[in-house]
Structure 1
Amino acid sequence: MHDQLAASYPSHLATLRERADRTLVLGGFDHLLIAAGTPLRKFLDDQDYPFVANPHFRHWLPLTDAPGSWIAYTPGQKPRLIFVQPRDYWHVVPAAPHGYWVEHFDITIVRSAAEAIVLLPDGSRAVIAAACPGIDSLETSNPQPVLDYLHWHRSYKTPYELALMREASRIGARAHRAAEAAFRAGRSEFGIHLTYLAAARQTDAELPYSSIVALNQHGAVLHYTHFDRTPPAHSRSFLIDAGASAAGYASDITRTYAAPQAAEFQALIDSVDAAQQGFVAMVRAGQSYPELHIHAHHVLAGVLREHGFIRMSAESAVESGVSSAFFPHGLGHPIGLQVHDVAGFQQSEHGGSIARPEGHPYLRMTRVLEPGMVVTIEPGLYFIDMLLAELRDKPVSADIDWAKVDAFRQYGGIRIEDDVVCTGGAPENLTRDAFAHHG
């Protein structure tokens, strides 16, 4: 892995420098300054929230824990890293930079975030920084034309980025295998969560997002992050949506499992899984993502019909909003340095926004797929009390087998999610490849 990163990093950095050169010319700036950021302080406290570095900083460097540090880039010059290494015996001080990337930077080590700011170059500066202690005083923070340009091009992953995303997927798959075994052993949600962390060898704060570990009817809560401490009397179903990080890059994986006695639920999982793999196969250059989302609604409506939940045609289930009651979120989103990566709606490198299709307010991507993009494909079918209650009051209610629907509430729902690379040909499924690796 290390050799692969060492080999692919120089061309990744060259790509970032080219993009920076172009956006600085477009915006009329001399320098690009990127702050890692500093941790936010808890209210009325002397403790900080877990530190999350600026994604733009992590784009240039595999440094996820360098609070107060800066990248300063001036076209035609070697990029600079101003690295904060405090004199401190209270905390673990960040190790001096080392590894395959350091030779590509001029590195200056300073003792404080304030010292780092003093060393930033003067002139016309495009500053990319979050509002955080010690940084909010700088001028021209986050100029929109610069962000639009960099976000648009961040949609196209370099080979170096894909190598890190494969690694994040391998770590995630390994942890998912352990979580499934913990479910089969009858552990609580909290117990399964601890098993996942141990197998990933990452803390909660290091994961790219808060894990969803849902047993039985909890699977119907789309963002269930509660973690019951005691196991249910009977574990019938298990939905886990959990990722992992590799040098600041995310994986985002969801799997749903049925207990051995829940054969009817397993049959529905199998149908959603087959549908999901069909959608993955359509992640190809030129495919409109919103059209793929609408296609998914038709296929999932067909699954509902095939399993006897609805009696209407798939077309009328989609048109009347019935499919949205069972599948109320988007098919997926861009992923990379952030779980919900940037520019999912962007019209061009100059900004703009592409509207979501009517009636689909939660879709997180409206672009046409192109080589180098990585997206999630995560269809679901859920039995959500609130949405089902609304459906019962509509005329289409007569075409729904409510006894069958009620029998499935105890399972919560199904979501199956893979991270998929759009290439010039067949898609690369990072998630399935990683599960095959950890077979």
Structure 2
Amino acid sequence: MTKNIEATFDAHFEALLERYQSLLAEHKYDYAVIPSGMPIRKYLDDMDYPFKVNPHFKAVLPLADHPHCQIILPQSGKPTLCYYQPVDFWHTVPVDPEGPWVKYFDIQIIQRPQEALSHIPKEGRVILLGQKEGVLDAVSFSAQNPETIVYPLYWHRAYKSDYEIECLWQANVIAARAHTAAKDAFYAKETEQGIQLAYLKAAKQLENDMPYGNIVALNSNGAILHYTGCEGEPPKEHHAFLIDAGAQFHGYASDITRTYSFKKNDEFAEMIAAMDEMHLGLLEQIKPNGSYVDLHIQAHHQISDILNRFGFIDMAPEQMVKEGVSSVFFPHGLGHQLGLQVHDVGGHQTNEQGGVTNPPEQHPFLRNTRKLEASQVLTVEPGLYFIESLLKDIKSSEFNNNVNWKKVEDFKKFGGIRIEDDIVVTDKGHRNLSREAFAQVD
């Protein structure tokens, strides 16, 4: 761990443990069992799918790649960790437990998953936070993921401790370094596959270590919002590059998007600059008690203004938003909560009891409707795309004649623009982890 993380871990963990144990006491549960999870075997095969840890587990421990472990957390006292460390010459064996978290656990080394059963209490009210699978099928739990426990946990996950913000910052540094390598590979006329390999090498992480599947999109592929292809053949021409990719640090994710024009000085590059200016302007409005929903709607107005200024649509921005025309070019939400998961939990919650504020009917894909508060970490990612299936909706509408279809057709080859940063809400405004990280690696 870095020096800053070691210095902040104790306060983070002690507050976290107090929250869990207070919830158990309040709802009269004696223990919580939190499994790390187990690999899933591929059908008719002797290999497993890539392992992804139970988010409840890594919320307590910075162990993102350790299967078959179990945390037994009592209503009071020291938690137990069943730490899986098999005798194995086929696979890499986990190292001995180390780090500032070790002193907080009674660590029991287990060589087989079923050995954990002897450490799980046989009496009292025991709940499970996670999936019931593997050896846990033999355990009778009083409740599994009870809402009275998980909703408060989800609610508080939005408020990041100093330790968590430092982890998110480190994840941004790794991603910024890798983004820079990917940009250089694009301008060297690499394929999508070549760019992806450059990214992974610079991040020093494998593809399965990424917090989500990297979006590495050349040209019109940038119009596919969750593009999962990774073409090994070069395009006839390099026009544009959109990359949405992050990294992990101690289980915490970064999520950054950048867009580039190959010619650097054409009209598409000017549009990217306009979107970046608009993006940074939106960030200046982030402050405690602000409305993320209002910020999302304002992004629609400003994207509409860009569409008008660059001659794509002859309509007032207000009318574009009112009639839903802006959603054809900006169909997704402005961003989401970020932390242990890329799309972190609790984005629509209104209280600890699990109340929900749904997104506006006109903007159903907005992932965050919570009031902005200090210590929240969110992404802000406005976008502008030329998506054929959505453009057809305008062609069949009363607004067909308001669109400069020749210019739209010319710009389809660029795919689209998305710019995304990871933002900490502070007492007075915001901190941009992504821009700070890029400044450090440049």
The aligned counterpart of 2:218 is 215
Alignment partner of 2:246: what SS?
Answer: strand
Within-5 A mapping of 1:29-40: 29-40=29-40
Question: Once the two structures are superposed, what CA deviation does each residue of 1:74-123 show, in whole Å capped at 9, x if it has no partner?
Answer: 13312221111112221111111012221222111111111112212232
Q: For 2:403, which of 400, 403, 421 is the aligned residue? A: 400
Question: Once the two structures are superposed, what CA deviation does each residue of 1:202-259 show, in whole Å capped at 9, x if it has no partner?
Answer: 0011110000000001000001110110111210100000000001000000000001
Equivalent residues of 1:40, 1:133 under 8 A apart: no
The aligned counterpart of 2:169 is 166
Q: For 1:242, which of 245, 265, 288 is the aligned residue? A: 245
Alignment partner of 1:23: what SS?
Answer: helix
Alignment of 1:63 with 2:66, yes or no, is no
The aligned counterpart of 1:273 is 276
Deviation at 1:35, TM superposition (A): 0.7
Equivalent residues of 1:334, 1:376 under 8 A apart: yes
Q: Percent identity?
A: 46
The aligned counterpart of 1:331 is 334
Equivalent residues of 1:272, 1:300 under 8 A apart: yes
Alignment of 1:225 with 2:228, yes or no, is yes
The aligned counterpart of 2:129 is 128
Equivalent residues of 1:345, 1:365 under 8 A apart: yes
- For 2:383 and 2:229, the matched residues in 1 are separated by 20
Within-5 A mapping of 1:281-300: 281-300=284-303
Question: Once the two structures are superposed, what CA deviation does each residue of 1:152-195 show, in whole Å capped at 9, x if it has no partner?
Answer: 01110010000100000000000000000000000000000000
Equivalent residues of 2:29, 2:75 under 8 A apart: no
Question: Once the two structures are superposed, what CA deviation does each residue of 1:283-341 show, in whole Å capped at 9, x if it has no partner?
Answer: 21111111111111011111111111111110000011110000000000000000000
Mean Cα deviation higher: 401-410 or 246-255: 401-410
- For 2:198 and 2:290, the matched residues in 1 are separated by 38
Deviation at 1:6, TM superposition (A): 1.3
- Code of the residue aligned with 1:89 in structure 2: it is F
RMSD, aligned α-carbons: 1.2
Deviation at 1:31, TM superposition (A): 1.3
Alignment of 1:183 with 2:186, yes or no, is yes
- For 2:409 and 2:304, the matched residues in 1 are separated by 18
The aligned counterpart of 2:51 is 51
The aligned counterpart of 2:204 is 201
- Code of the residue aligned with 1:320 in structure 2: it is E
Deviation at 1:410, TM superposition (A): 0.6
- For 2:433 and 2:276, the matched residues in 1 are separated by 16
- For 1:40 and 1:282, the matched residues in 2 are separated by 44
Alignment of 1:6 with 2:9, yes or no, is no
Q: How many residues align?
A: 439
Equivalent residues of 2:33, 2:129 under 8 A apart: yes
- Code of the residue aligned with 1:11 in structure 2: it is A
The aligned counterpart of 2:106 is 106
- For 1:143 and 1:44, the matched residues in 2 are separated by 35
Alignment of 1:253 with 2:256, yes or no, is yes
The aligned counterpart of 2:150 is 147
Deviation at 1:399, TM superposition (A): 1.3
The aligned counterpart of 1:369 is 372
Structure 1 length normalisation: TM-score?
A: 0.98
Structure 2 length normalisation: TM-score?
A: 0.97
- For 1:141 and 1:114, the matched residues in 2 are separated by 20
- Code of the residue aligned with 2:54 in structure 1: it is N
- Code of the residue aligned with 1:29 in structure 2: it is Y
Within-5 A mapping of 1:340-351: 340-351=343-354
Deviation at 1:137, TM superposition (A): 4.4
- For 2:73 and 2:241, the matched residues in 1 are separated by 48
Equivalent residues of 1:420, 1:427 under 8 A apart: yes
- For 1:361 and 1:223, the matched residues in 2 are separated by 17
Equivalent residues of 1:189, 1:213 under 8 A apart: yes
- For 1:302 and 1:28, the matched residues in 2 are separated by 56
Equivalent residues of 1:17, 1:75 under 8 A apart: no
Q: For 1:313, which of 311, 316, 323 is the aligned residue? A: 316
Alpha-carbon spacing, 1:136–1:149, altered in 2? closer, same or farther (3 Å): farther
Equivalent residues of 1:253, 1:419 under 8 A apart: yes
Deviation at 1:262, TM superposition (A): 5.9
Equivalent residues of 1:37, 1:135 under 8 A apart: no
Equivalent residues of 1:283, 1:420 under 8 A apart: no
